[in-house]
Amino acid sequence: MNDYDHDIVMRLRNYYATTFDLSTKAADEIERLRERVRDLEKRHLDASFLLADWDGYYNPDAKQGNVEELASLIEDAYRILQNKSWRDADGQ
């Protein structure tokens, strides 16, 4: 099988586009969903890198660390994943 055999969007467009309007809508929806998945994957990766790269101070023996920086990191990760902070009234 080649890439064409696996690409349902291309097959829907080529086979049905001139015959059925529904297939064009289905192909458009599949493309929209693929783009949404790509966006969510990028957000997940960006947040993962942010969290993994945090080099803030924390002493596990004394259970003390930089609370402000950790809180800021958590909010930044949330903002990346949700595209807003829980404190944003309008999503900006």
Q: Are residues 91 and 63 in the same domain?
A: yes
Instruction: Say what percent of the chain tops pLDDT 90.
Output: 24
**3-class SS at 61?**
coil
Domain containing residue 79: 54-92
Q: Are residues 2 and 34 in the same domain?
A: yes
| 21-64 tens-digit pLDDT | 666 777 788 888 899 999 999 999 999 999 887 777 777 888 88
1 pLDDT band, cuts 50/70/90, is very low
Task: Report if residue 13 sits inside a domain.
Answer: yes
Q: What's this model's pTM, rounded to 2 decimal places?
A: 0.62
Helix and strand counts by DSSP (H, E) for the chain: 4, 2
Q: What integer pLDDT is reported at residue 65 of this predicted model?
A: 84
Residue with tokens 């902070």: 85
Give 36-44 contacts, CB < 8 A, sequence gap 24+: 43/80, 43/81, 43/83, 44/81
Task: Report if residue 46 sits inside a domain.
Answer: no
5 pLDDT band, cuts 50/70/90, is low
